[in-house]
Structure 1
Amino acid sequence: MPEMKQRKGVGGNSNDLERLGSSARNSTSGGKSISYLRLIFSCAIAGGVQYGWALQLSLLTPYVQTLGLSHTLSSIMWLCGPIAGFLVQPCVGLWSDRCRCKMGRRRPFILVGCLLISCAVMVVGFSSDIGGLLGDTKEHCSVYRGPRWHAAIVYVLGFWVLDFANNAVQGPARALMADLSSSHGPNAANAIFCSWMAIGNILGYSSGANGKWHKWFPFLVTRSCCDACANLKGAFLIAVVFLLFCLTVTMIVAKETPLGDTMKEDEAEEPIGIFGVFKAFNNLPAGMYPVLFITGLTWLSWFPFILYDTDWMGREVYHGDPSGTVAQAAAYDTGVRQGAFGLLLNSIILGITSLLLGPLCRKLTPRVVWVASNFMVSVCMAAVSVISVWSLNDYRGSIQQAITADEGVRAAALAIFAALGVPLAVLFSVPFAVAAQLALQGGGGQGLCTGVLNISIVVPQVIVALGAGPWDSIFGKGNIPAFAFASAIAFVCGILGCFFLPKLSKKNFACSSLSGGH
């Protein structure tokens, strides 16, 4: 963009920055502030996408192992998420900043991405049936226990397309909210986005836990797809319907004015794709680099819990073992289901907290809220380690020797799940709001800043995913060291945030009342 070329990094005078902010607002909403209610419905697509994410997290890892992929391979398969986030979100964010489609800058990418998500979900859900048509086996699924490689290949291809499409939607969706926030402020927009994510999580986890889809839709049960598989198909079919409904709402309500042609000649000279993203790093607004660093550390403290939360409930709280005796496997499964219930509680608290983030940021500043959330994560992760030790010492034996769960330990574990909904709401909202405000002040594109911020999320995810196996083996498949490590990282992150996060004014995050706008 010519504005970015005129300023290297943080250069440029206040008139330039004001002109840039005005230009960005005019290119999205025609320079008019939209009502708070309309801003809420503009973000409906976040709920639709998150519904599918929740189903992925709760259903797909167990499902893919029924097709023949080992647990190790299924873990590697999840690396497509950070790879897609590293490559797709920054590129799509940069492209959406420059898009001159008549529909606007963000909505074309949201539309195409959602259509790809719908197709990928159908492929994943019906992978067993497709594999059967390709010749996996002629035996009925109720008696056949061997690998189904055609179905596995179809599944993996669909899964990768699904993750790439999810990332293609999320960046422009967040940038759209920042574009439309206007007088409501970027923190209000990101709090709304976080609330829709909580709604999607609640519906997704509830749908994934429902074991009656095969009864309600008996036509989903086929020779290649028995009850558990049919339940997955039913949940995913509902996910597609919900996603398309949310897409329709966003496309109708979130009106965008097409970007003008004033920068066309200069932009044509700039590289696009991943090379354009790397070049654009030089044009990031002031304060973005500390935000990227602190965001990466914050997510590094979260990923051990995200990766091991239900496994922790199954092993340390319920003392089960997925590869042990029948009783141990049953205890592990019970713990995993209780972990899913804990995630549901977590999502409810997340949704409530997201509604309070606007007033909190206005009163305390976003930096204080972000730092406080890191210290809260540190305390919660340390509490997880304490609960683990408490649980194991009560039984005076190894994880595999005890088959039941103490009610006090179970209640404390669920309380930790619920409490972590508060800092998770901050994690899903405040860093993106800070990046949006820095982009507005410094002239960087909203889409680019959102996409680049996502790199700080996927890098620690890759570190944890690749190191999880060796780390797990060193400590005998126990989760206590991982949570202790997370607690230490969160504490360090809180200390560093006090000194390095940008000092943004409270008024930059002000939200107008519900009657504001028109």
Structure 2
Amino acid sequence: MGEGMRPGERGEVMVQPGLSLARLCFCCMVAGGVQFGWALQLSLLTPYVQTLGLPHHLASISWLCGPISGLVIAPTVGLLSDRCRLRFGRRRPFIVAGCIIVCFAVLLIGFSSDIGSAFGDTKENCSTYIGPRWKAAVVCIVGFWVLDFGNNLIQSPTRAMMGDLSGKHGCNAANIIFAFWMAFGNILGFSSGSIWSWHKWFPSLMTNACCEACANLKGAFLVAVVFLFLCLTVTLICAKEVSLSELDPTCTWRENSGLFSVLEAFRRLPAGMVSVLLVTSLTWLAWFPFLLYDTDWMGREIFGGNPNGTKIEIDAYTLGVKYGAFGLLLNSIVLGVSSMFLEPICRKFTSRVVWVLGNFALFFAMAVNTALILISKKLYAENMNAVAGELNGVKIAALVIFAALGFPLAILFSIPFASAAQLAMNDGGTRQGLCLGILNISIVIPQVIVSLGAGPWDALFGTGNIPAFALASVLALSGGFIALAVLPTPPKLSNNYGYGPVQ
């Protein structure tokens, strides 16, 4: 692509200007802002809804709306952004709308306890009341669902926009930049979630219905809103999209519109896309039990706490959640560093091999997590005074696992998306948003399965998070072997996976 205008038979047609690598980096800054809120969601919301009275085996239900909306929203928005002819650009209108929805949801979650109290929850001070607050729980879950809706609205257009703007830098660079901003947002989000001083810095956040833990959640989410608007502003300034009307004034869409068009697209996927979708689904199916319960696992099994137990058990659970957020911070640091080395690693070993190794690494980590739970339970059975004790070998090992999982997570955040984007470009480049939206379906279906099944699966055995983690280890191992069997063999698609020029 060049710069400026080029003559055509029907007049002048604008060409998307080439961007410097530095400017391309800032085009994707909004991904960091969105991931800030997502990191808070991952680290704090499952424990928080349990403090409002939602039982552990039902906590995963609160995650359902995200994948359900993602089944329809992501591919539909991807398709609409491919066809959008607004002068503001193809992708940016959807990104702005999604960010506004995310900010509204974040505020709803942060103030859920106060809203619940206003609508009839207990008037007793939160420092003494430990019973359920159902109205606050409903408001929190609704906010949770709206937040996931906004995230799904942003995801496909943002990744597609990076592919549109990548130019000579290619899909490889675009997805590495995206993964880096996700890691950066995670680092800030998990740092914010592990800071337990928001209520001290902003004492006005504490109310009769919102004590320390709630005020810290509220403060972290308010910071997330400010940061998201900052990131969105930078993205809108740097990502100067040329509208589809200017890129190709003669372009007309002859296909059907709406949901039918999305369904029709499944029959005409680029070559190799089905394998990418299958392996992506298996990989996410193994990941979601950990993503849903990571900080709950730290608070409940590793630190021996209980969000609905005695004062000592509640304090132990809160401390575990705090250390879990710190573990996720370490995870994000490793994720960010790993993302910068993925390209040379994939060039040497091929992306297929690296993807498989990521699944095997996840299998090992989930197996170790299961073993740590069993060891921790034995230790607490022998010494109940250790519940709120200092860090020991088991807790340190759990933090090491958190950090080590950053490498396979970097693989998951980049290779599948780079693969889909490159396959779409090889197929003509007009369906990038739609292909990335369809890839999102292979992510949200596993989330639906885990959200519906993880709680009842754990409750069936009555052993906390052990069954979910044990099953995740089996799925990760199976996914690795299946990836070896079905992913295209190098060198046929190794470059098409976004880690090298297309031959």
Indicate how the Cα distance of structure 1 residues 509 and 265 shifts in structure 2: closer, same or farther if over 3 A, else same. closer
Structure 1: stretches of 5+ with no match in the other structure: 1-27, 513-518
> Pick from 234, 239, 244: which aligns with 1:254?
239
Indicate how the Cα distance of structure 1 residues 225 and 412 shifts in structure 2: closer, same or farther if over 3 A, else same. closer
Q: Does 1:240 pair with 2:229?
A: no
Q: Does 1:39 pair with 2:24?
A: yes
Counterparts of 1:332-411 in structure 2 under 5 Å?
332-392=317-377, 395=379, 397=381, 403=387, 407-411=392-396
Indicate how the Cα distance of structure 1 residues 188 and 402 shifts in structure 2: closer, same or farther if over 3 A, else same. same
Question: 1:156 offset after TM fit, Å?
Answer: 3.4
Between the aligned partners of 2:241 and 2:457, the Cα distance in structure 1 is 48
Indicate how the Cα distance of structure 1 residues 73 and 396 shifts in structure 2: closer, same or farther if over 3 A, else same. closer
Q: Name the SS of the counterpart of 1:59 in structure 2.
A: helix
Aligned CA RMSD, in angstroms, stands at: 2.8
Contact 1:184-1:511 at 8 Å conserved across structures: no
Greater Cα offset, 56-65 or 436-445: 56-65
Query: Match of 2:471, as an amino acid?
Result: F
Greater Cα offset, 133-142 or 182-191: 133-142
Task: State the partner residue of 2:438.
Answer: 452
Q: Does 1:506 pair with 2:495?
A: yes
Contact 1:315-1:399 at 8 Å conserved across structures: no
Between the aligned partners of 2:376 and 2:141, the Cα distance in structure 1 is 38
> Pick from 445, 455, 475: which aligns with 1:489?
475
Between the aligned partners of 1:140 and 1:479, the Cα distance in structure 2 is 32
> Pick from 468, 473, 497: which aligns with 2:454?
468
> Pick from 406, 412, 425: which aligns with 2:410?
425
Contact 2:42-2:291 at 8 Å conserved across structures: no
**What CA deviation, in whole Å up to 9, does each residue of 1:319-375 have, x standing for no partner?**
444455544444343333222221111111001001111222233222122112112
Task: State the partner residue of 2:215.
Answer: 230
Q: Does 1:207 pair with 2:166?
A: no
Between the aligned partners of 1:258 and 1:382, the Cα distance in structure 2 is 50
**What CA deviation, in whole Å up to 9, does each residue of 1:217-236 have, x standing for no partner?**
23333344333333222211
Task: State the partner residue of 1:101.
Answer: 86
Indicate how the Cα distance of structure 1 residues 302 and 337 shifts in structure 2: closer, same or farther if over 3 A, else same. same
Task: State the partner residue of 1:128.
Answer: 113
Question: 1:458 offset after TM fit, Å?
Answer: 1.0
**What CA deviation, in whole Å up to 9, does each residue of 1:164-215 have, x standing for no partner?**
1111011111111111122212122111111111111111111122222222
Between the aligned partners of 2:270 and 2:122, the Cα distance in structure 1 is 57
Query: Match of 1:499, as an amino acid?
Result: A
Contact 1:298-1:493 at 8 Å conserved across structures: yes
Question: 1:143 offset after TM fit, Å?
Answer: 5.0
TM-score (norm 2): 0.87
Query: Match of 2:280, as an amino acid?
Result: T
**What CA deviation, in whole Å up to 9, does each residue of 1:124-151 have, x standing for no partner?**
2223334444454555544555555554
Q: Name the SS of the counterpart of 1:185 in structure 2.
A: helix
Contact 1:319-1:399 at 8 Å conserved across structures: no
Between the aligned partners of 2:192 and 2:238, the Cα distance in structure 1 is 27
Between the aligned partners of 2:497 and 2:51, the Cα distance in structure 1 is 51
Indicate how the Cα distance of structure 1 residues 141 and 285 shifts in structure 2: closer, same or farther if over 3 A, else same. same
Query: Match of 1:490, as an amino acid?
Result: A
Task: State the partner residue of 1:515.
Answer: none
Contact 2:46-2:293 at 8 Å conserved across structures: no
Task: State the partner residue of 1:64.
Answer: 49
> Pick from 284, 298, 308: which aligns with 1:299?
284
Between the aligned partners of 2:251 and 2:383, the Cα distance in structure 1 is 63
Greater Cα offset, 495-504 or 338-347: 495-504
Query: Match of 1:179, as an amino acid?
Result: D
Task: State the partner residue of 1:5.
Answer: none
Structure 2: stretches of 5+ with no match in the other structure: 1-12
Q: Name the SS of the counterpart of 1:412 in structure 2.
A: helix
Contact 2:94-2:154 at 8 Å conserved across structures: yes
> Pick from 88, 93, 99: which aligns with 2:73?
88
Question: 1:110 offset after TM fit, Å?
Answer: 0.3
